[in-house]
Amino acid sequence: MKFKERMKRFLTGRYGGDGLTTVLSFVSLASFIISAVIRAAAPDTVGKVLGAVFWIIALAVLGYSTFRIFSRDLTARRAEYEWYRSHIAAPAARLRNETKTRFRQRRTHRFFKCPKCGQTVRVPKGKGRIRITCPKCGESFTKNT
């Protein structure tokens, strides 16, 4: 059997990569770099220990990522990806959007967090001291705009 054929057979039914694979690769690479930088910058015992810790993290993440790629348990890997998507990727995207919106509207609006439920409330800037009512939970609080 040709190598290509053998490879194809080996990979059949295995999970492969997804968005989590990409993130894990970056985390692993970053940990390797951090480890190297620490060991170069601090050749004492603390530096060696810290460097080793990041080295272990980098290897563990790389190992886990590789395990996922070749795994045959597609259901478990999809569940991991779904968890990653809803707990990390989606909140990160929301935060990015919120930061962008705030930056675009920084001259015309101020943003406050409701002290009761944490909802972000947007109010026009330059209205002095105003009473804000949270649209989500109805809590009232006073802020300077």
Looking at beta carbons only, is 72 or 136 nearer to Zn ion?
Answer: 136
Looking at beta carbons only, is 124 or 138 nearer to Zn ion?
Answer: 138
Sequence-distant (≥ 6) Cβ neighbours of residue 50 within 8 angstroms: 38, 42
Q: How far is the CB of 102 from Zn ion (least distance, A)?
A: 18
Residue 143, phi then psi, degrees to nearest 5: -140, 155
Establish if 137 lies at the interface with Zn ion (CB under 5 A): yes
Q: Which of 117, 124, 130, 133 binds Zn ion (CB under 5 A)?
A: 117
Amino acid at 14: R
Establish if 123 lies at the interface with Zn ion (CB under 5 A): no
Establish if 139 lies at the interface with Zn ion (CB under 5 A): yes
Q: For the window 60-99, what string marks contact with Zn ion as x by the rule CB under 5 A?
A: ----------------------------------------
Q: How far is the CB of 70 from Zn ion (least distance, A)?
A: 47
CA distance 122 to 29: 39
Within 10 Å of residue 24's Cβ, how many Cβ atoms? 21
Residues that bind Zn ion (CB under 5 A): 114, 116-117, 119, 134, 136-137, 139
